[in-house]
Structure 1
Amino acid sequence: MVSVAAVLSLSACGGGEDEDSGGGDKIAGADTGKKSPSPSASESADPGRPKIELPSDITYKFEWKKTGDPEKDAVLRDAEQRIKAVSMAIAEQDPLHEAYRFYSEGGAAAGSEKFIQSFVDHEARIAGVARYFREMVTVKDDGTASLVYCEDQSKGFNKYIKTGKTDDVTVSKDSYVNYASVLRKGTNGVWVTQSLQSQRGSERCQP
C-alpha cells in the first residue's frame, strides 16, 4: 500500500501538484488544532474577499519582496491569499470551498479541487511551516500576469485528523518545488490564478 505521505505531497500549500492538469481540519471529534486568523487576515477581509482562517499549527513564511509596483504587489498579495485559501479548504475538508475558488478559476481551480479531495479521502491536512521565496512576477498589458516562485516544504508535514498523528519528514531535493502560474485581473480588481504548474525537485529552488 502506498503511504499517504507519497500520495499527499504537501504542495497543496503552494496550491497543488500541477493543478493545470488536475495533477487538517474541521470535523467533529477531530484533533484540528485551534484556528487563528492568518497574518494577512485584514487584507482577506476586504469587502468581497473571503476571510482566511487556519489551524494554529500552520505557519507561512512569504519572503516575497515588495516591488513598489502596485500591480505586481497586488499579484503577489492575491497569490498569497490563494495559497492560504487552499490550505483552509484542506483544513475544513471542503473540496469546493468558496475561498480558494474566489482566487482561482479554470485549470487552477479544478486542480485544487482534486488535490483537496485527496486530503479529504485520507482524512488528513497540512501542518508545519511552508516557506515561499525566489519569486518573479511579470504584468502584461492584456490584463494577465505570470508568477514563478519556489516553495520549501522541508518543515511541513501531513497530520491525520482523527488520530492527530503526523508523517515523518524526510528532507530531499524533492522538498523544494518550483511553481509557474498565470493570473488574470478580474473586474473586481482581484488577480485570479488561471493555471498553475509545478516541478518538484527543481534545481532553481534548491538551497
Structure 2
Amino acid sequence: MKRRLAGSAVAGLVAASLLVTACSSDADGGDDGAAAPIEGADGAGEASGEPEPEEPTGDPTPEDDGIDRPEIRVADDLELIFEEPGTDDPVERAIILDSQRQFEAVFAQMTTQDVENSAVGFYTAGNALLEDGEALAEIMAENGSSAGVMRFYNYEVKNLEENSAVVEYCRDFSEVYDTDFETGEVVEEADPTATPTHYVTRVEINGIGVWQTHEKFAEAGDVKCS
C-alpha cells in the first residue's frame, strides 16, 4: 500500500522533468473511487563545512497565520517525522509546512479511514486530489493501512512565483509495514533496503492562503535522497 502512493518511478521521472521546465524558463529558478470520497474532490556534515541539519520534528508545527485549519490525526501506530524547514523565509516556510500537512492528511485518512473528517481536500487540489483519492479508495476498499516510522527530508522550494511554486523532498519508508486495518495483522513486513522516494510537487496558493498540492510526481532511488 505504501508503494502505491509512491507512484510510478519511470513516469514520475519524465513528468517531474516536464513540470520543472514548465514552471519557469530558468530551470534553476528560485518547481474517485466511491469507496472513499475525498472532501473537496469536486470542485552533510562538519568535515565539509556544511552546518549540521536541524533535528527532525514530528507533526508539522502550525504557524500563526490566522488560517482555520482542520485537525489532522494519524493513527498512533504510524509515526510521520518531518524535517524542520531549513529556511527563514516566511513564504518558503509556509509552502513547506503545507506540503508536509498534505502528506500527513493523506496518511491520516488511510490509517483512520475517517472520510468525514478528512483534511485531504483542504491541502490538495487538481490532479493530485484525484490521484490521491483514487489511491485511498483502492487501499481502503482492501482494508489496507500502514504502520511504523516514515521520514520526510531534504525539502527545497524552487520556481517560486506569486501564486505557485515547485517543492522537492524525499520520503524514507524503509521502516514502514503494511497492515490490515480491521485486524491489525501485518500484511507486508518493512523492507529495510527500500530506497527513498524523491518527490517533485507543484503547489498553488488558494483564496485563504493555503498552499495546495496540485501535481505530485515521484521517483524511487534518486541520488538527491541518498
Mapped partners of 2:63, 2:90: distance in 1: 15
Q: RMSD in angstroms over aligned alpha carbons?
A: 2.8
1:113 equivalent to 2:133? Answer: yes
* Cα 1:175–1:121 shift into 2, 3 Å: farther
Identify the residue that residue 2 of structure 2 maps to in structure 1. Answer: 9
**Structure 2-normalised TM-score?**
0.70
Q: How many correspondences in the alignment? A: 180
Identify the residue that residue 158 of structure 1 maps to in structure 2. Answer: 178
Choose 1 or 2 for highest CA Rg: 2
Bigger strand share = 1
Identify the residue that residue 47 of structure 2 maps to in structure 1. Answer: none
- Residue 83 of structure 1 aligns to a residue whose secondary structure is helix
Deviations 1:28-85 (A, max 9, x none): xxxxxxxxxx7447569x6531101121111121124341100000001111111110
Mapped partners of 2:115, 2:206: distance in 1: 23
Identify the residue that residue 38 of structure 2 maps to in structure 1. Answer: none
* Cα 1:203–1:144 shift into 2, 3 Å: same
Identify the residue that residue 197 of structure 1 maps to in structure 2. Answer: 217
Q: What are the ranges of 5 or more consecutive residues in structure 2 without an aligned counterpart? A: 16-31, 33-57
* Cα 1:76–1:55 shift into 2, 3 Å: same
1:80 partner letter: Q
Q: What are the ranges of 5 or more consecutive residues in structure 1 without an aligned counterpart? A: 1-7, 23-37
1:126 equivalent to 2:119? Answer: no
- Residue 7 of structure 2 aligns to a residue whose secondary structure is coil
How high is the sequence identity, in percent, across the aligned residues?
22
Mapped partners of 1:187, 1:170: distance in 2: 41
Mapped partners of 1:47, 1:134: distance in 2: 26
1:157 Cα deviation after fit: 1.3
Identify the residue that residue 168 of structure 1 maps to in structure 2. Answer: 189
Mapping of residues 3-82 of structure 1, within 5 Å: 8-10=1-3, 12=5, 16-17=6-7, 39-40=59-60, 47-82=67-102
2:191 partner letter: T
